[in-house]
Amino acid sequence: MNPSAAGEIGDYLKHGDYSVAVRRTLDYCLDTGDDALIENAVNWSREYHVNENSKSAKPIPDNFISEAESILQQASKIQSGISYQTKPLISAEKISKTYSGGGFSLKPINVSVNTGNVLGVVGENGNGKTTLLRCLAGQLALDNGEIKYHLLQKPDAYAVKNHIAFIPQRIPKWYGLLKDNLHFSASIAGVYGEKNNLMVNFMLERLNLSSYAHLTWNQISSGYRTRFEIARILLQKPRLLILDEPLANLDINAQQTILTDLIFMAKGAHNPMGIILSSQQLHEVEKVADTVIFIKQGNCLYSSNDRAEKITSNAVEFETAAGRESIIELFGAENIELQFNGGFYTIISTALSAQEIIGKMIAAQIAITYFRDITYSTKRFF
């Protein structure tokens, strides 16, 4: 996060986007590394969340804005000059894996992730996403290829797993109080004493989990389990975070929040990390990922890194009450490919851009209820 973030947070506060302002302020303070300031920010955030959860008539607590300004001012003084530097984290070259029993094969794939980068892995169920992630996490032995962990010197398998955090789709059950689990995770990562308290409180506030910390695993929903697992993993300060379908149990708002939170934290100076995640939520992933790869039947069919070479046509998808004939009539002379999957229409065109396509439909007064440019989206391959 750069110092100009203070201005960005100021804008959020100015326009009433308090939730995002609180989250970003916490990140901003964390990057300063100043414990007293982080504690102030955590207390300030706690007041906000208590007020929010109490359904108070007031949208924000008293002195919320003035305290925010004070915190931001202090953070700005410390922040100048603090930023993360991108470093290569992991690179996998032609890694492949074949299961002896089922016969499934992950064909040779190249992957690389730097600190602060997000790699999205998309594909249909049973096509090798989880296998790829487990190979990268060091959980599955490779048949061929090589994985390099650039920040580790001659790592053994334990060091690799200490370096990487893997959150599976089915998160193993936690035992005991949720907060104890968080304290434990922080302390096994070397965060001791008061710092341990501070970081746990910070993470609870950052992910808005404070009001659930005294509960047990069975007392929270699957969405909150995912969020607690992310909090736990982040406290262990991994350099590479691998998440298998993290959005599966989250509602739409939570999906957005978690993804943006992960991106902010990945790029933070406190613990810059790389993120690899798999998901069926193509648009959400594509929105935040620096690189997206599409896997089908074990093959990497597409990587957004080399999209310029592979994408030669524009594509849009849209939903309309208009019939196929009226659409064909509108684009008849433009040499387009029109597909209908029962819900959406897809137009693929080498001549028309997405803006031109929607412009034509608006001009023809075709009522559109949904429209998306999927030219560079993996959605095209489904």
d(CA 307, CA 312): 9
Residue in 65, 78, 140, 152 binding other proteins, rule: CB under 8 A: 140
List of E strands, 250-296: 274-278, 291-296
DSSP string, 190-256: T--HHHHHHHHHHHHHHTT-GGGTTSBGGGS-HHHHHHHHHHHHHHT--SEEEEESTTTT--HHHHH
Site for other proteins, residues 74 to 113, rule: CB under 8 A: 100
Of 236 and 281, CB closest to other proteins: 236
CB-CB neighbours of 294 under 10 Å: 24
Closest separation in Å from C-beta 39 to other proteins:
16
Q: Are 49 and 21 spatial neighbours (Cβ–Cβ below 8 Å)?
A: no
Contact positions with other proteins (CB under 8 A) in 8-47: none
Part of the chain binding other proteins (CB under 8 A), chosen from 12-20, 63-71, 138-146, 330-338: 138-146
What would the two tokens of residue 215 be? 């509960």
Contact with other proteins (CB under 8 A): which of 46, 93, 112, 184? 184
Please report how close the Cβ of residue 291 comes to other proteins at its closest, in angstroms: 24
Contact 20, 48 (CB under 8 A): no
Query: Quick one: which of 104, 7, 84, 48 has its CA closest to 274?
Result: 84
142 versus 248: smaller Cβ distance to other proteins: 142
Q: Which is nearer to other proteins, 177 or 301 (CB)?
A: 177
Of 241 and 285, which has the nearer Cβ to other proteins? Answer: 241
Structure-token pair, residue 298 = 């074990």
Cβ at position 217, least distance to other proteins in Å? 11
- Residue 279 tokens read as 């998901």
Binding part of the chain for other proteins, among 36-44, 113-121, 153-161, 372-380 by CB under 8 A, reads: 153-161
CA distance linking residue 28 with residue 40, whole number of Å: 12
45, 51, 117, 236: which one binds other proteins (CB under 8 A): 236
Q: Select the residue interacting with other proteins from 46, 107, 150, 183 (CB under 8 A).
A: 183
Question: For residue 165, what are the β-bridge partners?
Answer: 241
Residues 224 and 14: their CA atoms lie apart, in Å, by 30
Rounded CA separation 256/19 (Å): 13
Q: Which of 8, 52, 124, 180 binds other proteins (CB under 8 A)?
A: 180
Does residue 197 bind other proteins (CB under 8 A)? yes
Measured from the CB atom, the residue of 83 and 162 that comes closer to other proteins is: 162
Of the candidate residues 126, 190, 323, 359, the single one contacting other proteins (CB under 8 A): 190
Which of 46, 107, 150, 161 lies at the binding interface for other proteins (CB under 8 A)? 161
Q: How far is the CB of 147 from other proteins (least distance, A)?
A: 10
Residue 154 to residues 151, 157, 351: CA-CA distances in angstroms? 10, 10, 52
Straight-line distance from the first to the last Cα atom of the chain, in angstroms, rounded to the nearest whole number: 35
d(C-alpha 76, C-alpha 64), whole Å? 18
Binders in 256-295 for other proteins, by CB under 8 A: none
Which H/E stretch holds residue 125?
Answer: none
Q: Which of 66, 125, 158, 333 binds other proteins (CB under 8 A)?
A: 158
Residue closer to other proteins, measured from CB, 156 or 309? 156
Buried b / exposed e along 38-49 (16+ C-beta atoms within 10 A): bbbbbebbbbbb
Residue 213 contacts other proteins per CB under 8 A = no
In the complex with other proteins, which residue's Cβ is closer, 101 or 342? 101
Using the rule CB under 8 A, which residue among 192, 221, 283, 339 binds other proteins?
Answer: 192
- The window from 10-18, 73-81, 152-160, 362-370 that contacts other proteins (CB under 8 A) reads 152-160
Binding residue for other proteins (CB under 8 A) from 65, 78, 160, 366?
A: 160
Binding flag, residue 154, other proteins (CB under 8 A) = no
Q: Residue numbers of the site for other proteins (CB under 8 A)?
A: 100, 135, 138-142, 156-158, 160-162, 175-177, 180-181, 183-190, 192-193, 196-197, 236
